[in-house]
Structure 1
């Protein structure tokens, strides 16, 4: 039986797709071909009752629902040293940490954290890109909004720190990853005990922020049935072509309104300080932003 010995647990909109792609380049690393099995969060998603955690996750984002299917997802493992998966939903599912601990107590956990205000705005842009109903940023990014609630990291991180030894948890900051991707990924190689000298190709950016030129066309591209059908019927090259066409319908996103960003940063301030103490990392890169916009 082959199961992962590490996983990227989140957070969403903090570079997890790029991390997944860059780690997958290493010859000593096996990444589950399916990004986002979200297996350990499925029971939470199907019985969501944590209103303070935000809106319930969409069940379609939890494709692996049995232990047998989860094990099968790693059938391609050969002689790799580090075996991993990336499921950002684990960070927000309240019992995922406990479920992971029960099955994989020695797993190493990677969390990418991003300035929570910027993460919330990126989540808002993602909804627009997918063709979902969205108002303007001021109306959608209120303290009650799910994207905003997901930026309170302390309680979510604490679940993992309460159950796993600190040496099994690696925190990276999205802002540092964006600035020096090779250095950060090589630090992850070292954490996973594979050759840290391997240099990944980090030239490609995955899931960059963008909004659609045509919302109608974009709604078609992101319709779940269309995506499932394309994956089932189209060969790999045709799927790549479809993705390229979808990308051509995107344009640069609007800027984050400075006053709204300032409001959200003040909302997150105390939580940021708690996270800083919990992970014993300098988060002045976020706190300086607070002072700049205050």
Structure 2
């Protein structure tokens, strides 16, 4: 069994919220692991994983073994949006699949990703340096125009559903209902499914080493056919969640400085203009509304 829809990103743009809402719909199947990482060649830190080339479709199909007749079958891996090889691999493998893209103000997406990376010890440079260096993990990943264009060049537009994080969070029910209709399932459950507090909220960790080791171990167990059953048992028993919870430390991070905000707006302004042309609509991001020339 293979999926007929994919939530393809962006990172830090509500894909966790979407997964939690959709997985509770009786006519939607999603694997118990949110991010399968099959079609992307690289992970979020640009380390090569390439399950597509190394493990092939049999590995991918194991994630859908618990399918029980639902009409919509999907998975959610944010790296499918920004990884340059993912769209063509998806087109070659799942040409009829519906594609869901969730986009977020590139300024707030970048800062959210940066703070998450600091907490996990994935980044060790100041944000202004990352901006100046046009960091591929942060700045380039927030330029959506080319990423969205790759999908529009490979899939009919009616096969691609674009959401804006800000609109979804501000008024989730109608946007979730529209998504359910796109997926071809009952949209009358939208109000109920929208009542979720699950998100990838800002946090830090008592030990980044423990966090990274836990993620690595869980992935290794899940990806090995001999231990994949054990990985599922541990997840269903809540072992991973308990370990993460004990290591997690809620912490409201400092607001983005005005200097860094201005630099990010400048870094993304041209791309946002191109994105509006690609989407044939204005974006709902105040940072880029009626900007004076030269900013």
Structure 2 Cα separation of the partners of residues 180 and 117 of structure 1: 21
1:216-231 equivalences under 5 Å are 217-223=207-213, 224-225=215-216, 227=218
Match of 1:66 in 2: 56
Give the structure 2 partner of residue 87 of structure 1.
Answer: 77
Distance in 1, Cα, partners of 2:50 & 2:208: 19
Q: Which of 150, 157, 163 matches 2:154?
A: 163
Q: Say if 2:56 is the partner of 1:57.
A: no
- Report 1:32-51 matches (<5 A): 32-42=31-41, 45=42
Distance 2:172 2:208 in 1: 30
Q: What is the SS of the residue equivalent to 1:10?
A: coil
RMSD between aligned alpha carbons? 2.5
C-alpha deviation, 1:225, in angstroms: 4.3
TM-score by length of 1: 0.85
Partner SS, residue 73 of structure 2:
strand
Q: Do the aligned partners of 1:13 and 1:122 also contact (CA within 8 Å) in 2?
A: yes
- Please state how far the C-alpha of 1:56 moved relative to its aligned partner: 6.3
**Could you say if the C-alpha distance between residues 184 and 119 of structure 1 is closer, same or farther in structure 2, counting changes exceeding 3 Å?**
same
Unaligned runs of 5+ in 1: 47-54
Q: 1:76 to 1:234 in 2, by over 3 A?
A: closer
The question of whether the paired residues in 1 share the 8 Å contact of 2:72 and 2:183 is answered with: yes
The change in CA–CA distance for 1:252 and 1:28 in structure 2 (over 3 A counts) is same
TM superposition shift of 1:203: 3.0
User: 3-state DSSP class of the match of 2:16?
Assistant: helix
Mean CA deviation greater in 76-85 or 279-288: 279-288
Partner of residue 238, structure 2: 237
| Deviation digits for residues 112-149 of structure 1 (CA, Å, limit 9, x no counterpart) | 00111111111111111213342332223335212001
Partner of 1:177: 168
Aligned residue in 1 for 2:95: 105
Segments of 5+ residues of structure 2 without an aligned counterpart are: 222-229
